[in-house]
Amino acid sequence: MGMLVLLAAMAAPSLQADMQSVEAARNAAIRTGDMAALERLYAPDFHGIAAGGARVDRTTLLGVFRRNAGGAFTAESEILSARREGNLVIAEGRLRLFSTPDHRLLSDSFYMHVFRRHAGRWQMIAGAATPIPASRP
């Protein structure tokens, strides 16, 4: 029995890697305007604070994503840490948005996303972001 548990643990991706996959899928859905994927990811009771300080709910955030789909930007997101707290996961990361095709930095922020498992998948229930000031030359 012990060997089976060890093998299962070795085969399972780390929590941080799992959250990185969720974040990559989220960014792809935002970029392409896959609203069905975003509606599955963001819980109906989602609330958050955007990097600019605005409080947002799921409806507001999905509207922003709908308007920006296919925009001239790419997102680079990295999960810096992920930890379990009971039945929740708290993921901290850094998101950089770049213009296309010149790859100019548009925004840079740290974020914290809170997830719970629902129907076999992760759902974001809360999020907050804070901008990282541009460094001076």
Within-domain flag for 49: yes
Query: Residue 73 has what pLDDT?
Result: 82
The share of the chain scoring above pLDDT 70, in percent, equals 90
The CATH number covering residue 125 comes to 3.10.450.50
Tokens standing for 32? 């392409």
Residue with tokens 């643990």: 9
Q: How many domains does the chain have?
A: 1
Within-domain flag for 109: yes
Average pLDDT over residues 43-52: 96
CA distance 105 to 96: 7
User: What letters, b where the CB count within 10 A reaches 16 and e where it falls short, cover 30-67?
Assistant: bbeebeeebebbbbeebebbbbeeeebebeebbeebee
Query: Residue 118 has what pLDDT?
Result: 92
Query: Residue 136 has what pLDDT?
Result: 59
User: Angle at the Cα of 44 (from 38 to 49), degrees rounded to 5?
Assistant: 80
Strand partners, 79: 93
More confident call, 70 vs 36: 36
Average pLDDT over residues 84-97: 95
Residue 113, domain extent? 13-131
